[in-house]
Structure 1
């Protein structure tokens, strides 16, 4: 496979590349990069024209600001270092704003818009933006509640009632109709209602179902199937189903604006918070594996992260309103 060029990058590819460029910039700012890390950076930068473009765009914001400092230095020697430090702090507030201009090469504010609303889902029948939960009434008397940054297409006809979950998470409350089954389809399979209320979520690698009332029948894309009853849940991909241990109903706490976790990794907590945060959360691999428990308010991700920083060995750096970087404190 050839290198990805800006012309054939998707918005998801662009976002990942910008994230990587931001990571490199943070490492440079730490002033303790090793020679091997610098070589790795040069290899990353040379591996793809899109990497070079992302780096120039992110780092260029700082260079443009420092050119003003250099000019001032010619007129006021001795003040350059102090001004440079001030600009580095200013750059923290502007870092992602500058990076966002890079987005998509075809739309200067595409990535910024993507953090408010999943651009790829704009044409879905039902959708929610960042930090938004909403309940929609359906034509058959059923209703569906969408978590933040979720999208659904509706396919109702005389033979069936089917929702296609394109992204995110939903809770379906199903009205009875003996002649038309009610189903939710994800990339990985189909969940058929045998009762009234259940949750379905979809991620890149797998989907999840949790039964809140009565039961459902789950069938993966490759034909695996399972009956799941009230209080039970399962994760599944195209060919495999795995039950969730214990009472899975806590997975639905988001419908009340809460996040309930028990022995969850920090990576799982951050994944649940991301649909509620309009910026970016950078989590180091070491921090991602830490485990925690508790009940937290989804509508204030910053508060949740500050609370976790008091109970876990974490250090957080805020770069304005656009980036939170989380690492493990060094002993």
Structure 2
């Protein structure tokens, strides 16, 4: 077995780029490997170009565990067949991945992991500002969407997935040990078998809170990806491209307070509170001062009157609210 972290000097730039991609995501890369990678990448503009092309499929790494990626490095026991590779190439073309040269081995493993499977059924869940909507899946799972939300549910053979692009959804997931339920929220992934929980995705963070059962929340870049296991009455926040923060205890009755018309902030960073509020307001609120982003606030406001929070904000935060002629609102330090 070849344990040298460098691709063969005879490898083509595209195959070398694919090899580096797998090695850097395997969880075993060292500082010396990173130095070698940078030397290889800077040695020829074509190396950098091919690596960036391969990174166009970098979302695939989120669907593979470090163990699976290490297995790619150790063996070539089940290479993709020519028929599989041709089929995959056609799909890659359709996804705009032409030019991303990857070895047959890497792409074959991704194919066997089910990354390129076609969903059996697809459902869209979308709400405009002020709307709520419910989606019942054939397996008995129910998704309830809050205002300004976009989610896409896909049912595959052996797994159920939901891509939460923005907004907030309360999930009541039908239990199935043979078909895990996976929520893709950007760099954060939530995995369950059967439970009730709430997921909110704003521009900067994903927040997960569990009403009953348990969920796993994974997030962060490949070199610092972590998983938090939440039980009922627990919640976690994961900022974009960052590992989930520490688990905190929450009031179960308030996890989906939006369903009864309440917006609740409980020791919430001001930046996250304003991002949440923006989903209800007709004009966006901007927070320009970075020092204020982590200032924590608590309060309750009716979802039908989100402006009330802005009126109260100067009472419990060192800020002033400035309304501009175009309707936009700026929060400035006092």
Contact 1:130 1:276 in 2 (8 A): yes
Residue in structure 2 matching 1:254, options 231, 236, 258: 258
- Cα RMSD of the aligned pairs, angstroms, is 2.9
3-state SS, counterpart of residue 306 of structure 1: helix
Contact 1:259 1:298 in 2 (8 A): yes
Contact 1:132 1:276 in 2 (8 A): no
Residue in structure 1 matching 2:229, options 227, 230, 240: 227
Matches within 5 A, 1:288-307: 288=293, 290-307=295-312
Against the structure 1 CA distance between its residues 204 and 313, is the aligned structure 2 distance closer, same or farther, given a 3 Å change threshold? Answer: closer
Whole-angstrom distance in 2 between the partners of 1:129 and 1:267 = 22
Report the CA distance between 1:210 and its aligned residue: 1.6
- The question of 1:245 aligning with 2:248 is answered yes
Whole-angstrom distance in 2 between the partners of 1:148 and 1:154 = 17
Contact 2:150 2:164 in 1 (8 A): yes
Contact 2:174 2:193 in 1 (8 A): no
Q: Structure 1 length as normaliser, TM-score?
A: 0.54
Against the structure 1 CA distance between its residues 309 and 210, is the aligned structure 2 distance closer, same or farther, given a 3 Å change threshold? Answer: same
Against the structure 1 CA distance between its residues 178 and 269, is the aligned structure 2 distance closer, same or farther, given a 3 Å change threshold? Answer: closer
Report the CA distance between 1:288 and its aligned residue: 4.8
Report the CA distance between 1:290 and its aligned residue: 4.6
The answer to which of 192-201 and 282-291 deviates more is 282-291
Matches within 5 A, 1:1-331: 125-220=124-219, 222=222, 224-236=226-238, 238=241, 240-247=243-250, 249=252, 250-285=254-289, 288=293, 290-312=295-317, 314-319=319-324, 322-329=327-334
Residues 153-197 of structure 1 show CA distances to partners (whole Å, capped at 9, x for unaligned) of 111133221111112221110123343222212222421214320
Whole-angstrom distance in 2 between the partners of 1:156 and 1:219 = 21
Contact 1:188 1:207 in 2 (8 A): no
Whole-angstrom distance in 2 between the partners of 1:238 and 1:309 = 31
3-state SS, counterpart of residue 267 of structure 1: helix
Higher helix fraction (1 or 2): 1
Report the CA distance between 1:296 and its aligned residue: 1.4
Report the CA distance between 1:260 and its aligned residue: 1.8
Against the structure 1 CA distance between its residues 193 and 248, is the aligned structure 2 distance closer, same or farther, given a 3 Å change threshold? Answer: farther
Whole-angstrom distance in 2 between the partners of 1:209 and 1:291 = 18
Against the structure 1 CA distance between its residues 161 and 325, is the aligned structure 2 distance closer, same or farther, given a 3 Å change threshold? Answer: same
Report the CA distance between 1:230 and its aligned residue: 0.8
3-state SS, counterpart of residue 274 of structure 2: helix
Report the CA distance between 1:134 and its aligned residue: 2.2
Alignment: residue pair count: 207
Unaligned segments of structure 2, at least 5 residues: 1-121
1:60 aligned residue: none
1:71 aligned residue: none
Contact 1:224 1:241 in 2 (8 A): yes
1:62 aligned residue: none
3-state SS, counterpart of residue 226 of structure 1: strand
Report the CA distance between 1:151 and its aligned residue: 0.9
